[in-house]
Amino acid sequence: MIKINKSTKYALYSMFELCKDPQAILSATQIAAIYGISEHHVAKVLQQLKRSGFINSIRGIKGGFQLAKPAKSITMVEIIAVFEMPQNGGTCILVDDQQNCCKEKPCPIGELFNEIDEYVYFTLKSVSFATLLSEKKII
């Protein structure tokens, strides 16, 4: 049900790989090869993650990117927030023209989807990359 853009997916993949070994230095080429995705797009995503303070860039022949914070302190929602525009809560999600929206106030359909959005947000906020890497099941 949740839909995220390509940059967000690539950022989540990149962070997952970097969190596997916080001391590792990975290049965009290495991460792109793991997932079979565009190296150019991964490089752009990594630069945005660097500007956001989640990773550091390492110069030189063996350079690349390295985690800047502990994996347990980085949540899924933090990474998603860097690449996704915030949603307008309270607006009808079913129609583009608000004049044709549900005439009931508040709209029960819109409220249901807003509640689902809240569950998704708080779930992603509670899941760190360390949690993703743990042996225990998240759910």
**Encoding tokens for residue 5?**
């853009």
3-state secondary structure string, 29-95? HHHHHHHCCCHHHHHHHHHHHHHCCCEEEECCCCCEEEECCCHHHCEHHHHHHHHCCCCCCCCCCCC
pLDDT of 89 reads 54
Query: How far apart are alpha carbons 47 and 44 in whole angstroms?
Result: 5
Asked if residues 129 and 15 have their Cβ atoms less than 8 Å apart, the reply is: yes
CATH topology of domain 6-133: Arc Repressor Mutant, subunit A (1.10.10)
Is the pLDDT at 78 greater than 60? The verdict is yes
Share of the chain above pLDDT 70, in %: 81
Write down the pTM of the prediction.
0.81
